[in-house]
Structure 1
Amino acid sequence: MKLIRFLISREGIISVFCYAVTALFSFLSFAPVNFPFFVWFAPLGLFLIEKRNRGEWKKLIYHGFGFSILFYLVSFHWIYHMTTVFGGFDWYLAVPIFIGSAILLNFKFPVYLLLFSFLAKRVKRFFPVIASVSILVAEFFTPQVFPWYFGNIVAENQILAQNAEYASSYGLSAFLFFVSYYLFYLRKPKTFFRILTHFLSKHKRIQKQFLFGGFGLVLVLVLFFGNGYYLYQKWSNVKPKAERDVLIVQPNAPLEFRDGRNPAEEIRNLMTRIDAMTESELKKSPVDLVVLPESGVPFFTTHDTEVTRYSRIYWHQFESLMAILSLRHGTNVFYNELDADLVPTALPGRISRRDVRMYNSSVLMNPNGERRKSYQKVFLLIFGEYMPFEWMYALSGQTGQFAPGTSLDLIPYYEPRKTASSQKKDLRWEDTMLMGPVSVREYYSKDKVEEKQIGTFLPLICYEVIISEFVRKFQGDPDFIVNVTNDKWYGNSVETYQHHTLGRLRAIEFRKWIVRSTNSGTSVFTDHLGRNIDNDFTPIESTAVIRKKVQVIPGEMTFYRLYGNLLSYLYMGIVGLVFFFYAKRNS
């Protein structure tokens, strides 16, 4: 009742309006709406709430959670869909999970309000630097499952996005709040005219204060827009050292069979579809690499081991089809699968289910149809691939129990065959009914070529692409980045566009192209400037193929790859020291 009385009061209506300003303007600025103009007004709701409640710490905490919940409802409503479909929870469990995640994973809002109010009370001066450093601290040191930062919205501006090469999304968040606070300060006409009067004043001290404040804004604008424009021109003129022809196959594989469909029939249809889509696209013109998405062929593996056979996930027809695709067209095929091994404590000579570890894995098959290097997903998705507590698995039978991988190696790929197959009749999916992987390779044995590595790429599965600190842990100089994902869990929602936009900055941080392969949309190619090539997205919840020539940008360790978030740490450290000495002097 107390909450209802507050919401219908004047104070409550103003508060909800402030929440809505931040939530709605952030949503309108972000994918797929993409109106970056609104981003400059998104923080105004936070500024107004802080000013009206400065120093009232308990109220600021409540308001912070209010921002969290409304922000989630507007921008991340698809998380509810994820908990019901991906996690398999009933609605009466999904609703509290959604609200709980909105609060627990958006601590940045109450942290920001508390920190900004604390500093503002002590400085008692114009606050753009305080607003800037407060959001930086709040985004840096609060937990998030889906790392979303205000800087990702700023990056919708193509010029400003280039600054991510030095400061990632954190620096763009700090820039946004610095500029936006000026807009908040000038929100009233009388304030603008008062400043203008000060400028025209004959008092030099007042003029200096005005000029100093205005100079700071102009300097920051020139720095970010100027550096962004310089980097945009610099990288636009870089000549690639090679081009790789890459085909993405989007098969729209089924998620599950709880609706009564026949699993065997659905999987056969899927394999026939993948075979036909690949053949139609490559029969006249081969490629260097074919990329299938996460869960493109769900539930199975091509890794033939005692453990995978015991776990009943090895399927010889899956391996046979991948071998056919690579051998028929003489190309590399990168695909997703399950994989399994035993825990180190397993007793030798015997296998029990509790000793088996499952992995979300992607693997490359070379142009000779031979399985090569694989990558096991390291950064697992909570409530989908694992539960934080063992007892929670009983609440959701849909949630997987995966183990994280340990390797952060690049995936080598090989020179494709330059000639067409010598076989008069190529193999198709139907032939796997009678021919195993060994027979398939023997059938194409005359077409075998020398294995010659021509490059490497950086493999990422699903949400790994949105975690900048994780991606920079990979060693070596990849030719490009490959992100395979299955966004079908979120239905026909904005999630797939937001997922891509959050990961798009990795192209700028690394100055490498990104090949994004999805199960049911949206697949797309992004260049080293963060531009989506031809703005060509595959449609959602459909089968599709998309093919582009990916440029291999000459290897260069960018500032972000070398030093990570160094600039953000320096900024927080310098402002912290200045504040410390300022507070000590005025105490």
Structure 2
Amino acid sequence: MKLLRFLISREGIISVFCYSLTAVFSFLSFAPLNLPFFVWVAPFGLFLIEKRNRGEWKKLIYHGFGFSILFYLVSFHWVYHMTTVFGGFDWYLAVPIFIGSAILLNFKFPVYLLVFSFLAKRVGKFFPVIASVSILFAEFFTPQVFPWYFGNVVAENQILAQNAEYASAYGLSAFLFFVSYYLFSFRKPKTFFRLLTNFLSKHKGFQKKILFGGLSFVLVLILFFGNGFYLFQKWSKVKPISEREVLVVQPNAPLEFRDGRNPVEEIRNLMTRIDSIVERELAEKPVDLVVLPESGIPFFTTHDTEITRYSRIYWHQFESLMAILALRHGTNLFYNELDADVVPEALPGRFSRRDVRMYNSSVLMNPNGERRNSYQKVFLLIFGEYMPFEWMYALSGQTGQFAPGTSLSLIPYYEARKTPSSQTKNLHFEDTVTIGPAGVREYYSKDKTEEKQIGSFLPLICYEVIISEFVRKFSGDPDFIVNVTNDKWYGNSVETYQHHTLGRLRAIEFRKWIVRSTNSGTSVFTDHLGSNVDNDFTPIETSAVIRKKVQVIPGEMTFYRLYGNLLSYLYMGIVGLVFYFYVKRNS
């Protein structure tokens, strides 16, 4: 009742308006709508709430959670869909999970309000700087499952996005709040005229103060736009050292069968569909690499071991088809699968089901149809690939129990076969009923070529691509980045566009192209400037293909790869010291 009385009061109506202002304008600025004007006024709701409740710490915390819930409801409404479909929870469990995750994973809003108010009361001026350093602190030191930063929205501007090479999304967040607070200061026309009158007066103190503030604003704009323009021009002129033809296959694989469909029939139809798509696309136009998405063929593995056979996830027809695709067209094939091993303490040949660890794994098969390197997903998705507590697995039969991978190695790939297959009759999926993997390789033995590594790429599975601090841990110089993902769990929603936009900055931080392969849309190629090539996205919830020539940009360790978030930490540290001595001197 107390909450209801607040919501219908004048203060409650104003508060909800502020929450909505930030939530809706942020959503309008972000993918797929991409209306960049709104991003500069989106923080106004936060500024208004802080100004009206400055120093009232308890109220600021409540308002922060108000922002969290409404922001989640507007921008991340698809989390509810993920909880019900991916996690398998009933609605009466999904709703509190949604609200709880909105609060627990958006602490940045109450933290931002508290830090801003604390600094505003003690410093009393330099509010644009306070706004920028407060959002940096809040985004750095609060937990988030889907790392979403205001800087990601700013990066929709092609020039400003280039600054991510030095400061990632964090630096763009600080820039946004600095500029936005200046605009917020002039939200009332009379404020502008008052400042203009003061500047024209003969009071030198006023003139100096206004001139300093205006110059700092202009200098920050010049710094970010100027540096962005320079980097855009610099990297636009870089010539690639080679090009790789890459085909992305989007199979739209089924993920669950609670609607009564026959799983065996659906999986066989899927395998036949992938087979025919690849043959159609590569019959006349060979490529260097074919990429299948996460869960492109779900539930199974091509890794034939005692453990995978014991776990009943190895399927010889899956391995046979992958070998056929690679050998038939003489190309590298990168695909996703389950994989398994046992805990170190398990005895050989005497392990139990409790000893088995499952992995979300992606594998490279060379042009000779031979399994080579694999990558196991390191960052697992909560409520989808693991539960935070053991007892929660009983609530959802859909959630997997995966173990995180440990390797951060690049995936080598090899020179594709330059000649078509010598076989007069090619193999297809229906042949895998009678021909196993060894038989497939024997059938195409005359087409075997010398294995010659021509490069490597950086593999990322699903939302790993949006975690900048994690991606920079990979060592070596990749030719490009491959992100395989499965956004089918989120239905026909904006999630897939948001997912890609959050990961797009990795192309700028690394100055490498990104190949994004999804199960059901949207698949796309992104160049080293962070531009979506030809703005060509595959449609959602359908099978499709997309192919491009991926440019291999000369290796260069960018500032962000070398030093990570150093600039953001320096900025927070320097501003903190300046404020400390300023307050101490004036107290």
Shared fold per TM-score greater than 0.5: yes
> CA separation in 2, counterparts of 1:463 and 1:322?
25
Residue identity in the other structure for 1:103: I
> CA separation in 2, counterparts of 1:466 and 1:135?
19
Deviation at 1:47, TM superposition (A): 0.1
Q: CA deviation digits over 1:342-370, x for unaligned, max 9?
A: 10111233121000000000000000000
Deviation at 1:164, TM superposition (A): 0.1
1:149 maps to 149
Residue identity in the other structure for 1:140: F
2:254 maps to 254
> CA separation in 1, counterparts of 2:201 and 2:444?
87
Describe how 1:194-273 pairs up with structure 2 within 5 A.
Answer: 194-273=194-273
> CA separation in 2, counterparts of 1:359 and 1:126?
50
Q: CA deviation digits over 1:368-392, x for unaligned, max 9?
A: 0000000000000001000011011
Deviation at 1:477, TM superposition (A): 0.2
SS at match of 2:504: helix
Deviation at 1:203, TM superposition (A): 2.1
SS at match of 2:34: coil
SS at match of 1:66: helix
Q: TM-score, normalised by structure 2?
A: 1.00
> CA separation in 2, counterparts of 1:395 and 1:198?
65
SS at match of 2:244: strand
> CA separation in 2, counterparts of 1:348 and 1:495?
44
Deviation at 1:341, TM superposition (A): 0.3
1:481 maps to 481
> CA separation in 1, counterparts of 2:560 and 2:198?
42
Matched, 1:192 2:206: no
Deviation at 1:123, TM superposition (A): 1.1
Residue identity in the other structure for 1:547: R
Describe how 1:256-335 pairs up with structure 2 within 5 A.
Answer: 256-335=256-335
Deviation at 1:125, TM superposition (A): 1.7
2:48 maps to 48
SS at match of 1:295: coil
Matched, 1:376 2:399: no
2:356 maps to 356
Deviation at 1:202, TM superposition (A): 1.8
Deviation at 1:120, TM superposition (A): 0.2
**What percentage of residue pairs aligned between the two structures are identical?**
88
Residue identity in the other structure for 1:282: L
SS at match of 1:554: coil
Deviation at 1:207, TM superposition (A): 1.1
2:413 maps to 413
1:107 maps to 107
SS at match of 1:7: helix
Q: TM-score, normalised by structure 1?
A: 1.00
SS at match of 1:286: coil
SS at match of 1:337: strand
Gapped runs of 5+ residues in structure 1? none
Deviation at 1:106, TM superposition (A): 0.2
Residue identity in the other structure for 2:345: T
SS at match of 1:152: helix
Deviation at 1:573, TM superposition (A): 0.3
Residue identity in the other structure for 2:199: F
Residue identity in the other structure for 1:474: F
Describe how 1:505-524 pairs up with structure 2 within 5 A.
Answer: 505-524=505-524
> CA separation in 1, counterparts of 2:349 and 2:135?
55
1:79 maps to 79
Deviation at 1:258, TM superposition (A): 1.3
**Number of equivalent positions:** 587
> CA separation in 2, counterparts of 1:365 and 1:126?
57
Residue identity in the other structure for 1:263: P
SS at match of 2:541: coil
Deviation at 1:478, TM superposition (A): 0.2
1:535 maps to 535
Describe how 1:131-170 pairs up with structure 2 within 5 A.
Answer: 131-170=131-170
2:502 maps to 502
> CA separation in 1, counterparts of 2:414 and 2:69?
49
Residue identity in the other structure for 2:11: E
Deviation at 1:257, TM superposition (A): 1.1
Structure 1 segments, 4+ long, off by >4 Å, are none
> CA separation in 2, counterparts of 1:206 and 1:530?
43
Residue identity in the other structure for 2:14: I
1:564 maps to 564
> CA separation in 2, counterparts of 1:323 and 1:556?
35
Deviation at 1:206, TM superposition (A): 1.5
Q: CA deviation digits over 1:165-210, x for unaligned, max 9?
A: 0000000000000000001101001100011112211222211111
SS at match of 1:121: helix
